[in-house]
């Protein structure tokens, strides 16, 4: 994951994945070089419910699958929901509830 910087500003990075109903997406590491940059996250869940989880656990714990995860403030929501993170994180992941059979889309924009 490389971020390009020009004139003191990052040009942006986008991640998008589809998560099957009832599944938790893979951890998406957020590079330390984006500290201080706003991180926007969005779930597009339609009739299903989805949420975003973040961690400030170490990169080693994220890689080992032992990180501590915290739900985003909106909690599990139906439809399309966006939020901006208030503080730095080491990784993010999307979670699709099993309340419906449809997949959800999870997006990150830095």
Q: Give domain status of residue 9, yes or no.
A: no
Compare 11 and 38 and report the one with higher pLDDT: 38
Q: Are 92 and 43 in contact (CB under 8 A)?
A: no
Our count of domains for the chain comes to 1
Q: Give domain status of residue 58, yes or no.
A: yes
| CATH number, domain containing residue 76 | 2.60.120
Q: Give domain status of residue 23, yes or no.
A: yes
Give pLDDT, residue 68. 98
Give pLDDT, residue 38. 84
Give pLDDT, residue 102. 83
Confidence class of residue 3 from pLDDT cuts 50, 70 and 90? low
Residue range of the domain that includes 68: 18-109
Query: What is d(CA 19, CA 4) in angstroms, rounded to the nearest whole number?
Result: 28
Q: Give domain status of residue 78, yes or no.
A: yes
Mean pLDDT, the chain, as a whole number? 86
Coil, strand or helix at 59: helix
Q: Give domain status of residue 94, yes or no.
A: yes
State pLDDT tens for residues 50-103.
999 999 999 999 999 999 999 998 899 999 999 998 778 999 999 998 876 788
């Amino acid at each position: 994951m490389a971020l390009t910087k020009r004139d003191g500003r990052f040009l942006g990075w986008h991640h998008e994945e589809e998560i099957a109903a009832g599944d938790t997406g893979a951890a998406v590491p957020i590079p330390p070089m984006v500290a201080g940059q706003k991180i926007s996250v969005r779930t597009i869940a339609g009739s299903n419910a989805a949420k975003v989880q973040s961690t400030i656990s170490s990169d080693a714990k994220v890689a080992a699958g032992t990180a501590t995860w915290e739900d985003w403030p909106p909690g599990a929501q139906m439809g399309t929901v966006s939020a901006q993170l208030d503080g730095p994180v080491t990784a993010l992941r999307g979670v699709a509830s099993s309340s419906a059979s449809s997949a959800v889309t999870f997006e990150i924009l830095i």
